[in-house]
């Protein structure tokens, strides 16, 4: 089913032409099929098949009467688009009234008025291509700007702490891993093995030889102290000057 209401087939062009022609019997909704078939000079059954889109053999004398289908026509009105949507849907008027929530006469009234509610009803069923006047085009509604929320000092502090914690965690995850610091272990120093030693000379402290002491009858007789060094003799002053 074609749901684009801006494009019509040849059968729908014939239907639209009949809808726009005044009825000789003043019937509502334009000409009837019998009146249109009589006007075009063909049988009623052939006209029904032609308006239904069925393939039929058209006689040569019937071609001139269908040339009007190639003539440019005015654009569809909203009322005609609503009727076209009902025609394409294949629903009966009473079925539409049950879904629409009104009686079938009220639906027909809204159809003649091209009510906005009926247009939205068909739009919800997937029909598009509405040729609406500028005053009926719904402008997109801009989303409402939310008012800024005033936070208490406690809430601001909590938000700051949470953001700071998240930043620190992200930095720790992105930072390169530092090399592990070497761990020092205390070990006991093994005593060095003693080298084999040869004969060792024992050095003894040499003390100056003391003069021998004499012991007589149990009494130690110290040797006499050495005489003090002789004082240098000075020459007389005259001899020193002479020299």
In which domain, by residue range, is 68 found?
Answer: 7-74
DSSP annotation string for 75-106: PPPHHHHHHHHHHHHT--HHHHHHHHTS-HHH
Question: Does residue 120 share a domain with residue 64?
Answer: no
Question: Does residue 98 share a domain with residue 57?
Answer: no
- Looking at the domain assignment, is residue 208 inside a domain? no
What is the structure's pLDDT at 7? 87
pLDDT in tens, 32-67: 999 988 888 888 888 888 888 887 666 655 656 677
Q: Which CATH number covers residue 90?
A: 1.10.10
Question: Does residue 69 share a domain with residue 17?
Answer: yes
Instruction: Tell me the whole-structure pTM to 2 decimals.
Output: 0.53
- Looking at the domain assignment, is residue 65 inside a domain? yes
- Looking at the structure of the chain, the number of domains it has is 2
- Looking at the domain assignment, is residue 57 inside a domain? yes
Q: Where are the alpha helices (DSSP H) in the chain?
A: 10-20, 33-40, 44-51, 78-89, 93-100, 104-113, 116-124, 153-174, 237-242
- Looking at the domain assignment, is residue 165 inside a domain? no
State which of 133, 158, 182 marks the end of a domain: 133
Residues of the chain with pLDDT under 50: none
Mean pLDDT of the chain: 78
Residue 172 is encoded by which pair of tokens? 């720790």
- Looking at the domain assignment, is residue 102 inside a domain? yes
Ramachandran angles phi, psi of 181, nearest 5°: -75, 130
**Cα separation, 12 vs 54, whole angstroms:** 12
State which of 133, 151, 170 marks the end of a domain: 133
Q: Which CATH number covers residue 21?
A: 1.10.260
Ramachandran angles phi, psi of 65, nearest 5°: -75, -15
What is the structure's pLDDT at 226? 73
What is the structure's pLDDT at 156? 84
What is the structure's pLDDT at 40? 83
What is the structure's pLDDT at 139? 66
Question: Does residue 84 share a domain with residue 113?
Answer: yes
Question: Nearest 5°: CA angle at 118, between 115 and 119?
Answer: 90
What is the structure's pLDDT at 95? 92
What is the structure's pLDDT at 184? 61
Question: Does residue 20 share a domain with residue 65?
Answer: yes
């Amino acid at each position: 089913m074609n749901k684009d209401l801006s494009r019509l087939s040849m059968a729908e062009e014939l239907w639209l032409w009949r809808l726009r022609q005044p009825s000789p019997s003043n019937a509502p909704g334009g000409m009837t099929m019998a009146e249109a078939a009589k006007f075009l000079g063909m049988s009623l059954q052939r006209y029904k098949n032609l308006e239904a889109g069925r393939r039929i053999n058209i006689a040569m004398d019937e071609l001139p009467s269908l040339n009007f289908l190639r003539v440019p026509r005015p654009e569809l009105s909203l009322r005609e688009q609503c009727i076209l949507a009902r025609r394409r849907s294949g629903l009966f008027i009473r079925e539409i009234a049950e879904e629409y929530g009104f009686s079938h006469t009220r639906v027909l009234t809204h159809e003649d008025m091209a009510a906005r509610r009926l247009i939205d009803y068909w739009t919800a069923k997937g029909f598009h291509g509405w040729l609406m006047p500028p005053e009926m085009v719904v402008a997109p509604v801009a989303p409402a700007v939310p008012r800024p929320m005033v936070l208490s000092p406690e809430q601001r502090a909590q938000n700051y702490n949470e953001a700071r914690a998240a930043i620190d965690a992200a930095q720790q995850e992105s930072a390169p891993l530092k090399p592990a610091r070497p761990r020092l272990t205390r070990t006991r120093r093994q005593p060095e093995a003693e080298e084999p030693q040869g004969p060792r000379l024992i050095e003894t402290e040499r003390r100056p030889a003391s003069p021998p002491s004499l012991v007589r009858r149990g009494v130690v007789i110290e040797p006499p102290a050495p005489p003090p060094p002789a004082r240098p003799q000075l020459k007389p002053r005259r001899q020193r000057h002479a020299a």
